[in-house]
Amino acid sequence: MIKNLFLYNSLIGEKVKFEPIASNNVGIYVCGPTVYSEVHLGNCRTFISFDVIVRYLKFLGYNVRYVRNITDAGHLENDADFGEDKISKKAKIEQLEPMEIVQKYTLDFHNVMSLFNTLPPSIEPTATGHIIEQIEMIKSIIKNGYAYEVNGSVYFDVKKYINDGYQYGKLSGRDIDELISGSRDLQGQQEKKNPSDFALWKNASKQHIMKWPSPWGTGFPGWHLECSAMGAKYLGDQIDIHGGGMDLKFPHHECEIAQGVSANNVDPVKYWMHANMLTLNGKRMSKSTGNTLLPEEIFSGENEILKKAFSPLVVRFFMLQAHYRSVLDFSSVALSASEKGFNKLMEAKKVLSNVKFVQKNINTELDSQIVNLIEACYKHMNDDFNTPQTIATLFELVSIVNTCNNANSFGEISKETFIYLQKTMNGFILDVLGLDNLDSQSNDKSAQLVELMLSIRNEAKNNKNYALSDQIRNQLNEIGITIKDGKEGTTYSIT
């Protein structure tokens, strides 16, 4: 397949043609969660956005290596260079070992991701598992003259980097003069040559739990370093795509660029991609302000802002109805509308899978209309992963299928177009958008099982084996399936 993908590179603020560094192989790195609490729905939006991006790259036939890390050390409160490690802080509150906190919330994250039907990354490296790589990277940065040691901590020298002609601030558009001339009075800033310098390694106090030996004494890595070290280790000194939420542009990703350039003398990322924020009541969903919703609250409906519960795939569909670079506001009303759309799409997919092709006279206009719409699905996804436009086009195909479906047969188009249509609908709905209707599939299976039990019971009754037929009825009753024998046959209800 000829690939014609364009994506928005946030480094230059433009849509550009995607050309991987190494022919058909694509490396993508996405900043993963800091596992000190449950992921909120905002975090999930970013991971779902990148899940669709990875899925579409695979769908186009690229060999994708997808690396998404777990931050399990070095991320300090307020995303700053001083203060307590977020994980150690939570460990004290919950009276657990930091690694118990890491385990608990990593499992929660994996569970939520699989409910949302996101594909697992190819590699999921942790910061604590890559301390050696991080120390090696710091050594290279020091050797190249872009970092200095003070009291067992190592800081990146932003001024030296700029003086040598590099652009610190090129991703986030921050005014670097302002950063450099900023206040020096903040806690922990006294050691730095300039307030904009950032920590690569921090000297650990006695009370600090998560610490490791290093050439500069016992300490721990700065938060920005892990992604640079692990990205380079698994995807090379220059990565095709690096992603994360918009809020990570500064300082996290800006620092990653400076680290990569100063350690390896190459821009570490070819295409930067940033997903926009999920908001609640118009404000960014954020753990620090408490303006959050947990996925579990939506699946159970247990939150006062929700009118009812919603399934994970409806929530996924709701998110994909917005473009990943647009802000999306969460509301129960919007989710209800998405639920209707989702059910309609699933129903049409089922109809299209079951409909028989019976060749009639070919309506060439209809045939080419369908081919054009199929091509539009690719066109929209090739246009910076435009999922809302793709979904709108799938709906146009759905209404054609519903109009033309005549007693479960369809034949006004060529067989070739029909097969292309079936393949495209399934491919986009299941493989690209990841909208596999897991819930209804398992419901379908349960319904089939109950029907099977009822037919065995019927046979037992016909053979006058009332002991078996009663046993089946009673045992189904015990698990909440009530059977009613009527004139029209046996029906059941589930309580």
Cβ–Cβ < 8 Å for 401, 352: yes
The rounded distance, in Å, linking the Cα atoms of 11 and 472 is: 65
Shortest Å, Cβ 86 to ligand AMP: 9
Count of residues interacting with Zn ion (CB under 5 A): 2
3-state secondary structure of 485: strand
Instruction: Find where tokens 């920005």 sit.
Output: 224
- Say if strands 153-156 and 25-30 run parallel, antiparallel, or are unpaired: unpaired
Shortest Å, Cβ 46 to ligand AMP: 4
State the residues that interact with ligand AMP by CB under 6 A.
Answer: 31, 33-34, 42-43, 45-46, 244-245, 247-248, 277-278, 284-286
Segment near Zn ion (CB under 5 A); pick from 31-39, 87-95, 365-373, 446-454: 31-39
Residue 160 or 284 with smaller CB distance to ligand AMP: 284
Pick what 245 binds: Zn ion, ligand AMP, none; C-beta below 5 to 8 Å, kind-dependent: ligand AMP
Encoded one letter per residue, x for contact with Zn ion by CB under 5 A and - for no contact, window 181-220 reads ----------------------------------------
The rounded distance, in Å, linking the Cα atoms of 113 and 115 is: 5
CA 435 to chain centre: 14
Shortest Å, Cβ 206 to Zn ion: 29
Shortest Å, Cβ 192 to ligand AMP: 23
Tell me how far apart the terminal alpha carbons of the chain are, to the nearest angstrom: 50
Beta strands in 18-100 (DSSP E): 25-30, 63-68
The rounded distance, in Å, linking the Cα atoms of 159 and 197 is: 8
Q: Is cis: bond before 251, omega within 30 of 0?
A: yes
Instruction: Look up residue 174 and give its two tokens.
Output: 């921050």
Q: Under the criterion CB under 5 A, does residue 261 sit at the interface with Zn ion?
A: no
Cβ–Cβ < 8 Å for 159, 194: yes
Cβ–Cβ < 8 Å for 69, 17: no
Pick what 348 binds: Zn ion, ligand AMP, none; C-beta below 5 to 8 Å, kind-dependent: none
Residue 257 or 421 with smaller CB distance to ligand AMP: 257
Encoded one letter per residue, x for contact with Zn ion by CB under 5 A and - for no contact, window 42-61 reads --------------------
Q: Under the criterion CB under 5 A, does residue 394 sit at the interface with Zn ion?
A: no
Q: Under the criterion CB under 5 A, does residue 31 sit at the interface with Zn ion?
A: yes
Q: Which residue is nearest to ligand AMP (CB)?
A: 245
> Read out DSSP for 462-480?
HTT-HHHHHHHHHHHHHTT
Q: What are residue 333's phi and psi, to 5 degrees? A: -65, -45
Shortest Å, Cβ 34 to ligand AMP: 4
- Identify the CA nearest to 313 among candidates 351, 285, 354, 341: 341
Q: Under the criterion CB under 5 A, does residue 227 sit at the interface with Zn ion?
A: yes
Pick what 284 binds: Zn ion, ligand AMP, none; C-beta below 5 to 8 Å, kind-dependent: ligand AMP
Residue 147 or 269 with smaller CB distance to ligand AMP: 269
Q: Under the criterion CB under 5 A, does residue 401 sit at the interface with Zn ion?
A: no
Shortest Å, Cβ 78 to ligand AMP: 12
| Alpha-helical segments (H) within 242-288 | 254-264
Shortest Å, Cβ 312 to ligand AMP: 17
Pick what 227 binds: Zn ion, ligand AMP, none; C-beta below 5 to 8 Å, kind-dependent: Zn ion
Helices 41-59 and 312-320 sit at what angle, rounded to 10 degrees? 70
Shortest Å, Cβ 257 to Zn ion: 12
Shortest Å, Cβ 75 to ligand AMP: 7
Q: What are residue 342's phi and psi, to 5 degrees? A: -60, -45
Residue 91 or 278 with smaller CB distance to ligand AMP: 278
3-state secondary structure of 65: strand
Binding residues for Zn ion, rule: CB under 5 A, are 31, 227
